[in-house]
Amino acid sequence: MMEDTIAAYSGGTLPGAIGICRISGPQAFALADDLFFPQKGGKMSQGPFYTMRYGQVWAADGRALDLCLACCYPGPSSYTGEDLLEIFCHGSQAVVACILERAMELGARPAQAGEFTKRAFLAGKLDLTGVEAVADLIESQSAAAAKNAASLLQGGISRPIRQMREKIFQQLTHFYAVCDYPDEDLDPFVSEEARKVLEECTAELDKLYQGFQRGRVLKEGLPVTILGRPNVGKSSLLNSLAGYERAIVTDEAGTTRDVVTESVRCGDTVLRLSDTAGLRETSSQAEKMGIDKARESARESRLVLCVFDGSAPLTEEDKQVMETAQGLERAAILNKWDKGALDFPEVEQAFSKVFRLSAKTGEGVSELCQWLAGLSQGEGETLVTSARQAALLGKAAESCRMAAESAAMGFTADAFLADGEEAVRLLDEVLGDAVSEDIVHGIFSRFCVGK
Amino acid sequence: MSYLAGIYEVVVIGGGHAGIEAALAAARLGHRTLMITTNLDSVGNMPCNPSIGGTAKGQLVREIDALGGEMGRAADACGIQFRMLNRGKGPAVHSPRAQADRAAYKQYMKEVLEHCENLSIRQGEAAEILTQEGKVSGVLCVGGALYETRALVVCTGTFLNSRIFIGEQNILSGPDGLAAATHLTESLEKLGLRTRRFKTGTPARVDARSIDFSALEVQRGDELPRPFSFDFQGQLYNDSLCYLTYTNSHTHEIIRKSLDRSPLYGGEIQGVGPRYCPSIEDKIVRFSTKERHQVFIEPCGKNSGEMYLQGLSTSLPEDVQLAFLRTVPGLEKVEIMRPGYAIEYDCLDPTQLTAGLGVRGVPGLYAAGQICGTSGYEEAAGQGLIAGVNAARFLEGREEVVLARSDGYIGTLIDDIVTKGTNEPYRMMTSRSEYRLLLRQDNADARLMPLGHAIGLVSQQRLDKMQQDYDQAAQEIRRLEKTAVSGPALARVLEERGSAPVGQGILLSDLLRRPEISYDCLAPLDPGRPFLSEKVREQVEIQTKYQGYIQRELRQVEEHKKLEEKRLPEDLDYLSMSTLRLEARQKLDALRPRSLGQASRISGVSPSDMAALMILLGQRGK
């Protein structure tokens, strides 16, 4: 019997000195070869085994995610009794999240709470570990996972997921109500309607999944866009922030020459800072495109930093900047504080958070940095599980797609709804619902049935 | 004054659907068996709907038959109208049902019992379960008769301290005017068992001559009726008619105005009723916007003048029953022959049972049917069979037979009630099974007949005959997977069926996977096909068409199997497992799950508890 391959973070609290990513199952070594590239010697799957090897973890595009240690343990002589890969990476949430996400791209499935232990037990391997320690760890992991699920899903992501879950679930209960009570006067179940619902959900889940990918704080860090009219000191702010703490990833050109992005670390948090073209009225076609890009970048960011020249009165273009940032999560930066501080009642009124600093001298930058670090603390905590949840969401979309396709082919609902049920189960896992309503209960609460 | 009335190996208390299967199974396995029932004229009685089968229940009957039980054969012999429900909704939810002749059914069952070797039946009320050193040693009846036995199956149905409610009136009585059994609850409680009170109900039976059938929609049996039993040969009687009518706003008005006279709403009834089987007053309160409710009028027998009103279960006073019935089209002049009623009864909390339906802590004691918190004849019969088999195996010193959830609806039902318990009478539904595409009514024989044979209730001949069919189907499936077709004949068939054309040759199996293509419609393209019975053709078609889904469910079964097969030692000291949360320790200690799989389904046992438990077990093994 082929088990699937599972992956999860198996170390202590992050951030820490070292993080452990564990991948177990028949595909673990094949996956190791696509994930971890030893600096010396052959591929991971070729051995030597039970030996720490030094090398790089690669992302899909060949970018190095981390330079660290990994070890292959061939089954049955491993913790789980299966082929097992452990990657001992740097203990950063971003790094761990990237590695897990890559493992899932390569076909691993997020491990459920206690699943490594379950496999170890079934393989008769469990005397190796101290009981208390493992049980405690699992307890804390599942608690953390639940907390993460909740925190990640704030901010409007959980609502559409819950709605979709509900829509599919309604089709399930409807079908089984009609089947279990064929003599009741219930509205007939229409496969065609179920197909439509499933198709809608597929499309929406795809969109969410992709959005999840985009908006996620994995490789990129928290996306932050710097906006402002020309010459207010946007670039110097970027450089100042980048220089304040070591940039963990080297400079990288944006997709257009007009948006420059750099990953910057503030405390434990990674920011993906985008410096944009200055916003102004222009007749130049190229510059117009740059400005459009800046606006788009702002819309896709979690936070917009609006930079103003603190030594000069507001201009029309400054007001345009404020307008562009309207409705977005934002903070105001009154730069060039060293050159003289004016009062900006309009800015104070429009922004709940205003920083006065000098990008040039570095004065006040540490306060901004501290605020940024604190601001994204919550985001940081969700990093580890977000890869797991994104994977689940992707799988749910796939189940919906299969169900819709089978329905379109004319399969009977008892068959295609099996995939619908799988989708509901996956969405429940994404939502972190401890107890989800089962179909039987759903039937009784929705339909009038009896003898 | 008690006297020794007989010495038996197995005694079954109760002659309902559970008791019958339990007694027959034990006796057929060669054990001297006694069935005690309060009324010998009422064995196999159907106090509620006069039908056998239905959604999920039909699957249960097919499984009982495959395992060597009696219910399917009885239903075939006494059925008066046969239908396959949910046709067109897919094979996973096809369910056979038959209207049955109540009187004929009782007669049939009594005869089977009377002719069964090793089996005696006696009228009497069991009063006390006797034990020696904690083990079953006998049973004492109200009249003083004492039967010695080492194995006892309790199948008391709805009779324990049963109370019937009709409006303001309530009396100590079993269903259909039969006497309640008023002693045994106390005896069960003395053995340390927890009992509870459940409730169910039934509609009025009315005089066929008082119904205006001309106003009603007729419902007939299937054109090609299918029997329940593998063994059936000959022709099914299928001529009886059912009728359909509806309630209306006048009906609802009368009921609404009389709610204060309902024992349900007046608070007299304490028992918990089933949500899936609400009375008409329940439906009107809970679904107040629904303008009408469906009513099926079903005959109680081939020659019976009584008609059953499915959908109108009620415990309202008789005068209200008559008044609201007469608002229903076709029933304007209706005469009630027996009023509807609610019935409240004692039963056991089924989490006190093992997965083989043995009572934990009392060796030799088994329970089956409504006493275990279920409802329905079919649910009862399925449990009765398993309890009877396990009582027999107990005597033989053999391990109890346990059906896995993936083996059938019987396994699912028992696992549900003993693992999760139930807060209302439990009814089987297709939505309760996670393996619906595997547990079909059409393949019940293949799933369970080998087990029935291993148990000793199915003959080698019967098994071989079944196996032949499935071998033929397997061979034919292989042939379809190797036979390609092409050309204009293929194009014609595809066009007729509105199926997408194919460029080149295509395997017959691939064609059959298309939902719009049936096995039979491929006949013109397939001159080399063997002659196959309808049963075999059906298997070929379902197994090919749903192959992907079936295989996926099989994989899931495999995955769970490992946990299901990891047995938990009976002597585990859960309470001292400090790494488990307290709730999990207590639940595990109380339920004593048989396997890790069962443990994982107990509510209150979390994945981390399971992990900790596995670690402890791993260490224990060393």
Q: pLDDT tens digits, residue range A23-44?
A: 999 999 999 999 999 988 889 9
Are A289 and A250 within one domain? yes
Domain-terminating residue out of A86, A113, A129: A129
For the domain bounded by B205-342, which CATH number is listed?
A: 2.40.30.260
Q: Are residues A275 and A370 in the same domain?
A: yes
Which of B607, B615, B621 faces A131 most closely, judged by CB atoms? B615
Average pLDDT of the residues in A378-400: 67
The amino acid at B193: L
Nearest to B86 by CA among B41, B134, B52, B54: B54
Asked if residue A348 and residue A392 are part of one domain, the reply reads no
Considering only CB atoms, A450 lies closest to which of B278, B546, B621, namely B278
| Cβ neighbours of residue B476 closer than 8 Å, sequence gap 6 or more | B529, B530, B532, B536, B540
- The residue extents of the domains of chain B are 3-199+345-455, 205-342, 472-552, 566-620
- Tell whether B132 lies on the interface with A, counting CB pairs under 8 A: no
The overall average pLDDT reported for chain B is 93
CA-wise closest residue to A296 among A391, A225, A222: A225
Measured between alpha carbons, how far is A441 from B183 in angstroms, rounded to an integer? 35
Answer yes or no: is A147 within a domain: no
Higher pLDDT, A166 or A15: A166
As a whole number, mean pLDDT of residues B562-586 equals: 86
Question: Nearest residue of B to residue A113 by CA position?
Answer: B607
User: Which residue among A132, A180, A412 sits closest to B429, beta carbon to beta carbon?
Assistant: A180
Residues A125 and A242 in one domain: no
In a domain, A451, yes or no: no
Check B430 against A176: CB less than 8 A apart: yes
Fold of the domain built from segment(s) B566-620: DNA polymerase; domain 1 (1.10.150)
Cβ–Cβ below 8 Å for B283 and A125: no
User: Quick check: is A246 in a domain?
Assistant: yes
3 state DSSP class of B131: strand
Q: A135 and B608 in contact by Cβ < 8 A?
A: yes
In this predicted structure, what is the pLDDT of residue A1?
35
Sign of the torsion formed by the C-alpha atoms of B275, B278, B282 and B286: positive
Residues A243, A371 share a domain: yes
Q: What share of chain B is helix, strand, coil (3-state, %, to 5)?
A: 40, 20, 40
Task: Say what the pTM is.
Answer: 0.79
Residue A380 has pLDDT above 70, yes or no: no
- Looking at the structure, do residues A205 and A244 belong to the same domain, yes or no? no
CB pairs under 8 A between A and B: 169
Chain A residues closer than 8 Å to B310 by CB? 183, 451
pLDDT at A218 over 60: no
Q: Measure the CA–CA gap between A349 and A323, rounded to whole angstroms.
A: 13
Contacts of A186 in chain B (CB under 8 A): none
Q: Do A369 and A418 sit in the same domain of this protein?
A: no
Q: What are phi and psi of B473, to 5 degrees?
A: -65, -45
Instruction: Quote the CA–CA distance of B275 and B424 in Å, as a whole number.
Output: 7
Average pLDDT over residues A166-172: 91
pLDDT of residue B58: 97
Q: What is the DSSP string of B224-250?
A: S---S-TT--S-------EEEEE--HH
Judge whether residue B426 has pLDDT over 90. Answer: yes
Contact between residue B465 and residue B587 where contact means Cβ atoms under 8 Å apart: no
Give the domain B472-552 fold.
Arc Repressor Mutant, subunit A (1.10.10)
> Mean pLDDT for chain A?
76
Look at residues B254, B271, B292, B426 and name the one whose alpha carbon lies nearest to residue B341. B271
Alpha carbon of A408: minimum distance to chain B alpha carbons (Å): 10
Q: Which long-range contacts (CB under 8 A, 24 or more apart) does B560-566 make?
A: B560/B406, B560/B597, B561/B404, B561/B406, B562/A122, B563/A118, B563/A122, B563/B595, B563/B596, B563/B597, B563/B600, B564/B404, B564/B595, B564/B596, B564/B597, B564/B598, B565/B595, B565/B597, B566/A121, B566/A122, B566/B595, B566/B596, B566/B597, B566/B617
User: Tokens standing for A208?
Assistant: 């969410």
Give the gap in angstroms from C-alpha A167 to the nearest C-alpha of chain B.
18
Q: Which residue of A has its CA nearest to B246?
A: A185
Which DSSP letter does residue B47 get?
A: S
d(CA A56, CA B363): 63
For B564, the closest chain A residue by CA position comes to A122
Contact A121 B618 (CB under 8 A): yes
Q: Residue A378's pLDDT is what?
A: 42
pLDDT band at A259 (very low <50, low <70, confident <90, very high): low
Which among B279, B431, B613 is the top mutation candidate for probing chain A, defined by the most A β-carbons within 10 Å of its own β-carbon? B431
| List of residues 6+ apart from A134 with CB closer than 8 A | A117, B611, B612, B615
Given the structure tokens 């070890």, which residue do they identify? A71
CATH of the domain at A45: 3.30.1360.120
Is there a single domain that holds both residue A182 and residue A70? no
- Tell me the per-residue pLDDT of A328-367, one tens digit each, with 9 for 90 and over: 788 899 888 888 777 888 888 888 888 888 887 878 887 8
Residue B487 class from Cβ within 10 Å (0-12 exposed, 13-18 middle, 19+ buried)?
exposed
Determine the pLDDT at residue A152: 47
What is the arithmetic mean of pLDDT over A126-144?
47
Q: Calculate the alpha carbon distances from B331 to A326, A421, B310, B323, B527 in Å.
A: 70, 43, 13, 10, 56
Contact B296 A189 (CB under 8 A): no
Subunit contact B90:A120, Cβ cutoff 8 A: no
Closest-CA distance, A427 to chain B, in angstroms, reads 18
| Closest Cα in chain B, distance from residue A411 (Å) | 5
CA distance A224 to chain B (A): 38
Contacts of A129 in chain B (CB under 8 A): 615
Structural domains in chain A (count): 3
More confident position, B509 or A278: B509
User: What mean pLDDT do residues B237-258 have?
Assistant: 95
The number of residues making up chain A comes to: 451
Q: Do B621 and A418 touch (CB under 8 A)?
A: no
Tokens of B317: 């006073």
Predicted pLDDT of residue B332: 97
DSSP secondary structure letters along B48-91: S-SEEE-TTHHHHHHHHHHTT-SHHHHHHHHEEEEEEETTTS-G
In this complex, do B618 and A120 lie within 8 Å of one another by their Cβ atoms?
A: yes
Alpha carbon of A75 to those of A21, A25, A26, A267: distances in Å? 17, 9, 9, 40
Task: For residue A105, give its domain range.
Answer: 6-129
- Are β-strands A64-73 and A84-90 bridged in parallel, bridged antiparallel, or unpaired? antiparallel
Q: Rounded to an integer, what distance in angstroms lies between the CA atom of residue A422 and that of residue A402?
A: 10
Distance CA A347, CA A341 (A): 13
Is the residue at A204 inside a domain? Answer: yes
Looking at residues B379-400, what average pLDDT do you find?
A: 97
| pLDDT of residue A319 exceeding 80 | yes
Q: What distance in Å separates residue A29's CA from the closest CA in chain B?
A: 22
Which of B436, B566, B614 is the closest to A414 by Cβ? B436
Same domain, A318 and A265: yes
From chain A, pick out residues whose CB is under 8 angstroms from the CB of B85. Answer: 179, 182
* Domain presence at residue A137: no
Tell me the nearest-neighbour CA distance from B370 into chain A, angstroms: 17
Query: Can you tell me the distance from the alpha carbon of A122 to that of B597, in angstroms, rounded to the nearest whole number?
Result: 12
The rounded distance, in Å, linking the Cα atoms of B458 and B451 is: 8
Q: Which residues of B touch A127 (CB under 8 A)?
A: 618-619, 621-622
| Separation between Cα atoms, residue A377 and residue A355, nearest integer Å | 19
* Nearest chain B residue (CA) to A419: B549
Same domain, A234 and A366: yes
B53 → chain A, closest CA residue: A180
Q: Is A69 helix (H, G, I), strand (E, B) or coil?
A: strand
Give yes or no for residue A129 having a pLDDT over 70: no
Is B496 in CB contact (< 8 Å) with chain A? no
- Chain B residue numbers with beta carbons less than 8 Å from the beta carbon of A448 are 278, 283, 286-287, 290, 293
Task: Inform me whether the C-beta atom of residue B21 falls under 8 Å from chain A C-beta atoms.
Answer: no
Cross-chain residue pair A126–B617, CB shorter than 8 Å: yes
Please tell me the predicted confidence (pLDDT) of residue A254: 35
**B588-619 confidence digits (pLDDT tens):** 999 999 999 999 889 888 777 887 788 777 76
Task: Indicate which CATH number applies to the domain containing A407.
Answer: 1.20.120.430
Closest CA to B419 of B369, B372, B361: B372
Q: What value does the mean pLDDT take over residues B454-462?
A: 98
Q: Hey, are the CB atoms on A126 and B619 less than 8 Å from each other?
A: yes
A139, part of any domain: no
Say which range, A61-65, A169-173, A224-228, A277-281, has the weakest mean pLDDT.
A277-281
Chain A residues in contact with B87 by the CB 8 A cut-off are none
Residue A189 located in a structural domain: yes
What Rg value do the Cα atoms of chain B yield, rounded? 26
| Residue A212, both tokens | 């999840």
Cβ pair B473, B539 in contact under 8 A: yes
Sheet containing B341-348: order of strands: B169-172, B163-166, B341-348, B195-202
Q: Tell whether A238 and A363 lie within a shared domain.
A: yes
Phi, psi of B138 (to 5 degrees): 175, 180
C-alpha–C-alpha distance, residues B371 and B16, integer Å: 11
pLDDT at A133: 45
d(CA B299, CA B49): 10
Task: Tell me whether residue A148 is in a domain.
Answer: no
| pLDDT tier, A438 (very low <50, low <70, confident <90, very high otherwise) | low
Q: Does the beta carbon of B272 lie under 8 angstroms from any beta carbon of chain A?
A: no
Percent of chain A beyond pLDDT 90?
Answer: 18
CATH number of the structural domain B3-199+345-455: 3.50.50.60
Q: Any idea what the Cα angle at residue A147 is, between residues A144 and A148, rounded to 5°?
A: 85
The interaxial angle of helices A377-409 and A93-105, nearest 10 deg, is 10
Q: Which of B59, B89, B566, B619 to mutate to test the interface with A (most CBs of A within 10 A)?
A: B89
pLDDT in tens, B156-185: 999 999 999 999 999 999 999 999 999 999
Q: Is the domain of A39 the same as that of A70?
A: yes
Q: Give the pairing type, strands B3-7 and B51-53.
A: unpaired
* SS3 of residue A5 by DSSP: coil
